[in-house]
Chains A and B, each alone.
Chain A
């Protein structure tokens, strides 16, 4: 049997455009696997020459799903250029906004993109394996997913004026204080959202037993994990130290978040537009690490809110050291939804939440600034250099999907070796290869409409181009 290459193009139910190629040896076993990101954006180059204060709004345009994350990391980098300490209530409101973003994005990832696999099955009819299929099979769960995402987006709108691409987070703070009426509306919605999150958590924990094979094979290998932790070592999404933890659950190092160039390296591969990050002291590929919900729950010492803390304690019992299977990203996402809701409630119950002092003003005081925050998918870094007039001369962005790139590639290889065999393809096999990518919830920054003709088409070809098998779903 000749060596073959299987191409999965496009990868579906993720944010952005990519494909996966699998290379089979003469025996029909998967030899290599690659996750190719096929879109190119170029934000780091075309922002050069723009005034730094435009950067938060400009960077928010990177994505329609997580614009708030870019707003926050960008504004923090600009705070550093201004060299200001922003007012406490601006920090509080930015935190609420960031948590609302995590809430709506996690709800999208779980209910819209992953529940179709989890509820209907990895081998179910692909034509129905989507949110509309979920609506037919379990309308109550679909309503829950829609309501939870809607609530997260509504909080963003009440705070920042609009749901997508708000411009409310600015260098030095936020654009306006929170109105009492909007605070009350957010607080009034928390109990219903918590009830939904609890139902989803209970359902997922009951269903996990059905996915033993996926748990064993979905990017389940030792790597390090990285993310922000608070001063107390607790779960933190806005600011703190960057912690590296090894697969055994031991802390490797805690670093100041703004010194990332000292310990993070980046490489580019010829087969993808997505850069790959690694931990410099170990080099590449030994320095592979993961970020995002799974990493955050692995690296922390505790959670400050009661219900999420209780669930986290149960989660930690899954493994002796760090929880290694990427299938558990789904579980971690649900715990973070609980945390986000509880924490938003805590932050807005503070009597200072309506304080009108929400912005510090200054001119350019530093020629370089680094902003780091936790986006839904993991640690997000914005790094800018400016001239004395405040015009951007250089920018570097490290996004969560870049941190996870090496682990995703390794995960694709692991799951392909486990499920893909020989010269006859099944759609369920290939869906599992895509599903391991979905656990990471990569965001490849899609910003344009699909044309409605996208479809999964997988061709199995011999090394000389002969078509051996084809799998299409339209």
Chain B
């Protein structure tokens, strides 16, 4: 059972939309702790409820269309109802609620969002978003390393 689950999502072929996906991919190369599971997907899907229910903590990482490009926002999450009839628009909150109702457990959860500027076809991040991605990767890696070394605090605001 993984203790922490990281879910980075977005489309890396749509410019800054891929920021969350890329953070997860970069962390996969840097973090080798069996207690940390990393998933990178193009979008959230209902199948994620099951691994979410097995985690003690889950971190969602996504891009955002609003906000200042290059800033990283940290948002604590609570389970919430689905606000859409479409399986293509599953929210982190609805996955947390689903994990609770289907599998009897929902973990503590945090959402990091990285506002983007360019969402058209292309596999390049804008420079400010690239910097934000690197900053978030470095911060999370540091926190995971401290936690592996026995530290207690594992998530701090950026």
Contact = CB atoms under 8 A, between A and B. Distances in A.
A150 B51 CA distance: 11
B152 interface: no
Contacts of B101: 135-136, 139
A448 B88 CA distance: 9
Interface stretch (B29-37, B41-49, B69-77, B142-150): B41-49
A135 to B, nearest CB: 6
B94 interface: yes
B84 interface: yes
A143 B102 contact: yes
A301 B148 CA distance: 60
Nearest to A127: B85
Given A130-B82, A153-B47, A449-B17, A135 B87 contact: no
A12 B86 contact: yes
A218 B47 CA distance: 30
A473 B102 contact: no
B88 A126 contact: no
B43 A449 contact: yes
A448 B83 CA distance: 19
Contact of B102 (A135, A164, A449): A135
A13 B43 CA distance: 16
Contact of B89 (A127, A139, A143, A450): A450
Closest 6 CB pairs of A and B: A132-B82, A450-B88, A150-B47, A452-B89, A130-B85, A450-B89
Contact of B98 (A13, A64, A135, A454): A135
Contacts of B43: 449
B57 interface: no
With a 10 A CB-CB cut-off, give which of A113, A131, A139 has the most chain B CB atoms: A131
Given A132-B98, A135-B98, A449-B17, A473 B85 contact: yes
Interface string B98-135: 10011100000000000000000000000000000000
A404 to B, nearest CB: 21
Given A150-B47, A449-B43, A139 B102 contact: yes
Contacts of B4: none
A76 B52 CA distance: 38
Given A127-B85, A146-B102, A448 B11 contact: yes
Contacts of A136: 101
20 contacts: A13-B85, A113-B87, A126-B85, A130-B85, A131-B87, A132-B98, A135-B101, A136-B101, A146-B47, A146-B50, A149-B47, A153-B47, A164-B41, A446-B88, A448-B14, A449-B43, A449-B88, A449-B89, A452-B84, A473-B85
Contact of B86 (A130, A139, A142, A143): A130
B138 to A, nearest CB: 26
Interface of B: 11, 14, 17, 41-43, 46-47, 49-50, 81-89, 94, 98, 101-103
Interface in A142-197: 142-143, 146-147, 149-150, 153, 164
A112 interface: yes
Nearest to A107: B47
B86 A454 contact: yes
Interface of A: 12-13, 64, 112-113, 126-127, 129-132, 135-136, 139, 142-143, 146-147, 149-150, 153, 164, 446-452, 454, 473
Nearest to A455: B85
B108 to A, nearest CB: 21
Contacts of B87: 13, 112-113, 130-131
A461 to B, nearest CB: 24
B2 to A, nearest CB: 16
B49 A146 contact: yes
B46 A112 contact: yes
A473 B86 CA distance: 12
Contacts of A139: 101-102
Contacts of A132: 81-82, 94, 98
A305 to B, nearest CB: 26
A340 B83 CA distance: 34
Contacts of B81: 132
With a 10 A CB-CB cut-off, give which of B46, B84, B101, B103 has the most chain A CB atoms: B46
A446 B86 CA distance: 13
A188 to B, nearest CB: 17
Contact of B46 (A64, A129, A146, A448): A146
With a 10 A CB-CB cut-off, give which of A113, A139, A142, A449 has the most chain B CB atoms: A449
Given A132-B98, A449-B43, A150 B50 contact: yes
A142 B102 contact: yes
Contacts of A126: 85
Given A446-B88, A449-B11, A147 B82 contact: no
With a 10 A CB-CB cut-off, give which of A126, A127, A129, A146 has the most chain B CB atoms: A146
